[in-house]
A and B are shown apart, each in its own frame.
Chain A
Amino acid sequence: MKHREETIHREDLEIIADIKAGKQIAVDELIRKYQKRIYNTAYGLTVDYDEAWDVSQEALVKVIRYIGTFRGDSSFWTFMYRITMNAFYDYKRRQKVRAKVGNFTDYENDDDKRAFEITDVIDIEMDYEQKELKEKLKAALGALTEVQRQVFVLKNTEGLKIREVAVVLGMSDGTVKSHLNRAMEKIKKTLGGVQP
């Protein structure tokens, strides 16, 4: 079982100090270390491979730009998760604006067009049943409310305990449990037809 501890590691503290000191190599190190985790968190929020790509990049940019504001009051992951969540909300806001006024607001992505489709480059080493389960899970995640999805992703993808999820999302343990139960109930129904 996955459980990522909600503590700050010495290695992270060194990377943070180096970035604050302006060392470019530390920026690279931070991206390499957390890009997969942030991508998957963004995927849990967007349930879309392309959107997760953009949101995770934007989140990493913000983590690096605002690293000076990190004082260690919360864990480094909580800091990054909150930034990823804000990047997700910003992305959704921009999407709404774009839908109303056209594409000219999308200046940030103009020169960052990918030369590949993300679905073509995902590492897939699984059998048909696993693939079917993943597809059903994706559909079920899309049907959850945003809060339910956040709780579910932090609990399962991140493997956090209820009290840790509560700290990250700024909720009570009871509220987290309630959202988790509702999310589990919905997903259980969707996965119901597939045998493990």
Chain B
Amino acid sequence: MNEKCGITDETLVDYVYDEIEDAAKRKEVEEHIKTCAECGAGVKELELVKKTAENADVDFSDDIWDVHRQGVLRKLAKKEKPMRNFREVFNVKTFALAAIILLMSGVGLQLYRSFQATQEQQVIADKADLLQNIDIIERLDFYEEISNI
């Protein structure tokens, strides 16, 4: 803000960008700039910024813009392709096949587990038989010893 004349920087920016809607106010600022060296210099600096920025557009020749456009089209095609593949892969047939495989795997696993359980039961039964036989043999040995006495 210019302390001598009370014109704010914001007012000068508004003036440069033609944002002062009140015609009387605009005229007042316009007249002031003609007589106030400090505000006049401020406006010139702001106009330089505005002019430089307005003319700062980057431009290429048509063939370079064509390369840019082709790149966009390529990216578009690339992004659409995975979507098509997704739909192709995850359709009803695939889900049905996956369900059958899952079901068969479940049944197979169950059969394997029951076979394992049967085998374990068999081993336990064999061990029990063996223990019983050992017991009988020991008792026979005992009676044999008594009869010898």
Partners in one complex: yes
List residues of chain A with CB under 8 Å of any chain B CB: 1-2, 27-28, 31-32, 35-36, 39-40, 43, 49, 52-53, 56-58, 60-61, 64-65, 108, 111-112, 114, 116, 121-123, 130, 133-134, 137, 152, 155-157, 159, 161-162, 177, 180-181, 184-185, 187-188, 191-192, 194, 196
Query: Can you report 19 residue pairs joining A to B where beta carbons are below 8 Å apart?
Result: A27-B73, A28-B69, A32-B69, A35-B68, A40-B57, A43-B58, A57-B71, A57-B75, A60-B72, A64-B76, A65-B79, A108-B75, A112-B71, A123-B60, A152-B53, A157-B57, A177-B14, A187-B53, A191-B52
- Most A CB contacts (10 A, CB to CB) among B18, B54, B72 go to B72
Q: Do A137 and B52 touch (CB < 8 A)? A: yes
In the docked arrangement, what's the CA distance between A98 and B72, Å?
22
Q: Do A181 and B10 touch (CB < 8 A)? A: yes
Q: Is B29 among interface residues, defined by CB-CB distance under 8 A? A: no
Give the interface residue-count category, chain B: 35 or more
Q: Do B76 and A27 touch (CB < 8 A)? A: yes
Which residues of chain B come closer than 8 Å to A157, judged between CB atoms? 53-54, 56-57
Q: Do A155 and B59 touch (CB < 8 A)? A: no
Q: Do A61 and B45 touch (CB < 8 A)? A: no
Q: Do B65 and A35 touch (CB < 8 A)? A: yes
Smallest CB-CB A-B distances: 5 pairs: A156-B53, A123-B59, A60-B72, A133-B52, A31-B69
Beyond A2-B54, A40-B58, A130-B55, 7 additional contacts (C-beta under 8 Å) are A43-B58, A57-B68, A61-B76, A108-B78, A156-B50, A162-B19, A194-B48
